[in-house]
């Protein structure tokens, strides 16, 4: 039987301190459940997708975090499409006496971050919410690599890039995407603009058409998405000359995830 990658699991445990210190700390450590047992559970909270590859890649992101951080306990939660909900996961951990840090596996701070996740952690003193993964310079580096893999030339001033994000009506999300585009411009000779799948303006096809009207000889869509799914499938019809792959898998994103977990503000 295959292991369920979304189930709460602990990574490999580090050597017990009592093994190296002659047992002097053994009683105290056992009394509090071990040096890492009481550490907050990392709740990797994704949007959710029906795409099997997208589900696998998001699950593997949490597995990779456990490999890089021995002793870390992780579990998955979602804000849409697939269970379990972030509210149910946080409530379940609180009922078990476990603290939690919810890390949004989202690339900007929109409704799901500021409402869904904030509400879930706000109901439990033992839960905290971290920043979303983006914006972050490491994500821009991954975007750049995906564009190169799609055949785009960063030195060509006639190659325009449209940074394609899922979209949100929350202006904070739009600002995060625009900040990512601004960072990408430092790595690109041609123009860089933004387009959105829903809610925000302009839609990706309109952004591609605008880049052509402005004189671009080639337009490449940079998929600012973690994993394959409905929105990435739609990008193929946006009228661009090429579309980059989503960001996962990449170890740099795993390290961003762990940094968000470590940097989560104290509760209260």
Is the same domain home to 13 and 102? Answer: yes
* Average pLDDT value for residue range 204-232: 97
- At 2-25, the pLDDT tens digits run 444 445 555 554 444 333 333 332
- At 127-164, the pLDDT tens digits run 999 999 999 999 999 999 999 999 999 999 999 999 99
pLDDT band at 34 (very low <50, low <70, confident <90, very high): very low
Is the same domain home to 215 and 108? Answer: no
Q: What is the chain's mean pLDDT, rounded?
A: 88
User: What pLDDT is attached to residue 111?
Assistant: 87
Is the same domain home to 165 and 191? Answer: yes
Is the same domain home to 65 and 173? Answer: no
User: What pLDDT is attached to residue 4?
Assistant: 43
pLDDT band at 48 (very low <50, low <70, confident <90, very high): confident
| Residue 61 to residue 79: CA distance in whole angstroms | 17
User: What pLDDT is attached to residue 266?
Assistant: 81
Is the same domain home to 179 and 229? Answer: yes
Higher-pLDDT residue of 28 and 220 is: 220
Domain range enclosing 39: 9-133+250-262
User: What pLDDT is attached to residue 81?
Assistant: 83
Q: Is 61 exposed, middle or buried (0-12, 13-18, 19+ CB in 10 A)?
A: buried
56 pLDDT more than 60? yes
Strands (E), the chain: 9-10, 41-46, 73-78, 100-104, 127-129, 159-165, 192-196, 218-223, 242-243
User: What pLDDT is attached to residue 8?
Assistant: 54
The total number of structural domains that make up the chain: 2
Residue 222 lies in a domain: yes
- CATH number, domain of 160, equals 3.40.50.1400
Is the same domain home to 89 and 219? Answer: no
Is the same domain home to 14 and 113? Answer: yes
pTM of the predicted structure, to 2 decimals = 0.84
Of 95, 102, 83, the closest CA to residue 265 belongs to: 102
């Amino acid at each position: 039987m295959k292991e369920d990658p979304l189930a709460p699991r602990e990574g490999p445990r580090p050597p017990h301190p009592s093994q190296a210190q002659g047992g002097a700390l053994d009683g105290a450590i056992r009394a509090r459940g071990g040096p890492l047992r009481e550490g907050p559970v990392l709740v990797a909270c994704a949007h959710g997708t029906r795409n099997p590859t997208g589900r696998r890649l998001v699950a593997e992101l949490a597995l990779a975090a456990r490999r890089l951080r021995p002793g870390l306990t992780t579990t998955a939660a979602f804000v849409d499409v697939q269970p379990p909900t972030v509210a149910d996961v946080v409530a379940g951990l609180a009922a078990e006496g476990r603290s939690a840090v919810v890390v949004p596996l989202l690339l900007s701070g929109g409704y799901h971050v500021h409402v869904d996740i904030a509400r879930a952690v706000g109901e439990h003193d033992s839960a905290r919410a971290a920043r979303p993964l983006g914006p972050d310079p490491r994500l821009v580096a991954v975007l750049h690599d995906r564009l190169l893999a799609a055949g785009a030339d960063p030195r060509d001033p006639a190659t325009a890039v449209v940074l394609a994000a899922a979209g949100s009506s929350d202006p904070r999300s739009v600002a995060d995407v625009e900040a990512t585009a601004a960072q990408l411009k430092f790595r690109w000779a041609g123009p860089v603009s933004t387009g959105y799948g829903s809610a925000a303006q302009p839609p990706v096809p309109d952004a591609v058409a605008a880049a052509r009207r402005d004189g671009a000889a080639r337009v490449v869509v940079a998929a600012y998405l973690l994993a394959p799914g409905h929105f990435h499938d739609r990008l193929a019809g946006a009228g661009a000359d090429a579309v980059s792959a989503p960001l996962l898998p990449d170890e740099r994103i795993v390290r961003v995830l762990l940094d968000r977990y470590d940097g989560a503000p104290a509760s209260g």
